[in-house]
Chain A
Amino acid sequence: MTYANAADGVPGDAPRDAVSTYERHRAELRASKRLWNIVALLAFLVCLGLSVWISQFYPERLANGLPRIFEYFATILPDLQWNLLFEGRAEDGRAVPGSLTFWYTDFWTYVALIWETILMAITATLMGAGVAFVLSFPAAANLAPNSWVYWLSRRFLEICRGIPEILLALVFVFMIGIGPLAGVLAIAIHTAGALGKLFAEVNENASSRPIEGITAVGGTWAEKMAYGVVPQVAPNFFSYAMLRFEINVRASSIIGFVGAGGIGQELNRVISFYSDDRVMAVLILVVLTVTIIDLISERIRLGYIGRENFA
């Protein structure tokens, strides 16, 4: 039997029959898959059509709107003048229009609020990750001590991440008043839900062998988690928590729109009261902050994981 003699799936003697049987099965499988592919494609096209229709996503609307984007940008662009750019404040404390000092009159207010935003993100991430850590063990199918604890912790985490942060923030502002505490609580609750699910899924991938080892020495459930699971999952937990911190910096710079603290509050104020170059001033600072935080956090995360893998 050589490759050169092999026929193209034509029925014949015994070994060729195996080939033709295989070819027939292959053809049947492909036919049934083709049907499914067509059905799936049609379903996708229907969904796409519906969503375009409902959201009114038509090219001419987009084309009409585009110039207005630039119009808005024109209104929030600062009117800087080269010769006045580095002009300081006058005797009476007034800044000269056209200078950087004029554009960033409230610079230190912005910095203070951005600092508050970062602190809000740190606090919320720590609180949320703490709750997520504790609940991720009962919420992992392979680790839960019994089914109702599993069910309860899963549902609790779902509720936590199901409610949008901005909605939670509104409720907390109403409950405890305007300020960063409302924002921190709102973000922490959402973080607990989102991280809890991710942590639980990491736990579900943990090897059962160390856990069995701790069971066999007479360890309690908590000891099985602390010694058998945590060392396995800790690097992944850390990495997810850092990723969440990046997300939370963005979230806490928005959440101030409903009065829950941070730079969002100021952004909302300058947009609704002035809509002038102050909007751009705040936006630039927010984008800069988020980018810098992302870069630092990514560095730490990759550095840590790299160290873990090559230890």
Chain B
Amino acid sequence: MLQGIKRAIGCALFAIGLGVSPAQALDADAVSGLASEDFATRMAAIDAIAASSDAAALELLQLLQNGEVYLTEDGQVILEFDEIVDAVTLEPLDPEPDFYDSVIVNNRMRSKLSTAIAALSLLSDDREVRYDSARALEDAEDPQLLPVLAKALSTESDPEIRALLVHTRAVLQLKSDDPDARLQAAEALGESNQRRVRELLAAMLQTDASGAFVEPVEEVREAAEKSVKSIDRRLLLIDHAARLFSGLSLGSILLLVALGLAITYGLLGVINLAHGEMLMIGAYATYVTQTIFRQHFPEAIDWYVVAAIPVAFVVAAAVGMVLERTVIRWLYGRPLETLLATWGISLFLIQLVRQIFGAQNVEVSNPSWMSGGVEFMNIVLPYNRIYIIGFSFFVLALMWLMLSRTRLGLFIRSVTQNRAMAACVGVPTSRVDLMAFGLGSGIAGLAGVALSQIGNVGPELGQSYIIDSFMVVVLGGVGQLAGTVYAALGLGVFSKFIEPHIGAVLTKILVLALIIAVIQKKPQGLFALKGRAAA
């Protein structure tokens, strides 16, 4: 009953907010149309309910959009609150029905609903509601909305919402009978950055079957043509910006997966085929952290990714150090044996993870602050990708600081450049090897955290990235970090700029072919060290 009172208050508030007459009972015929099996009748019912444009209608439409309007077996339309009530009279049903099912709402109805709801809430007091409504109306094509828009514009003061409404009105006026209105609209729409608007304007310049222009007035055609050109220029820019972003995103992932390898292979010279499995271990560490958070700290679940970063680093580094101590250190200077041994380790680790976690992929979910995206110039930049770009540069900066500013970094660089001399002046080379291998593996673990946020986490996760990581390190030039960075970002952006033209499969082939060509020409990689160190 409390719910009922709340509902009544809610209705009243809505009514005041909308500035329409207080809630009256809905038209029973219109509501019963929702029960029809016939699609057209259901669509007509939505129109009829929306036409009464009062608060009760708005609420019913919103419930319908959320799939919360139900049908009994004999076709009565009902709502479910604390009690089950009739949708028109709001009287509780007695006895309650045994069986009821949602009114079927499909995509067509949903899009009609969102337009109708938006039109009804354009005058709301809440800025957010008005803004969302204006956004929802952006793609509307129904000229009957023009009076609603005019009314909203007469009172709207928020510049952002006004801009949206003016844009929508212009799009609708393109179909107007009045040439002046069309001319104004065509001129105003030059500011648009929507591809859909461009197509609408371009369609006016076409000729129909009889050879006459779709748009009869030449002046309007000229304006439209000018606007099309201006939109095209902007779209081209937006296109490039979008590709650059996805290129950067792919590049940052390549960079993350290759950074660890740049140390173990690039600096230590270990052909480490188990590198991919370090990524996989990092991803599974994320999964385990998530499970622990779910069980013990469900209220902080959104922050499990942050907690997973040190966990993944430590776990992967520990595994890497154990491997170095037990297997790899005995094989320094014997590349072929190292290659075979690390390959064996990689198979061993995959099977081990399969035994522990099962062969199926495990579910790692994005925390809420990494879902969705920010819209910018009509392109959506997903948050998870933005964070990963940031994260990869963060890791890069840490690693650079570590190598250039700390004692361990100094030792690593000295051992890389001249092991014998470093040993002579007292650098504990075997310990440095251990630490460096641990560092490389730990960074791979960090990459695993990032990968778990964009793709699948399964035992074979590493296999799909091992080729990419070697590709980046070899292309960039073995033995130094800057090359790895250039190669990763370069490859990412390059792939994304050619993918739209030739497709994902061919892109992969072309990139590999290109790398072979580069290695033929420059066996040391694109950014090889010069001088004696390179020899």
A binds B: no
Where the two chains meet, the residues of B that have a C-beta atom closer than 8 Å to any C-beta of A are none
Query: Which A residues lie at the B interface, using CB under 8 A?
Result: none
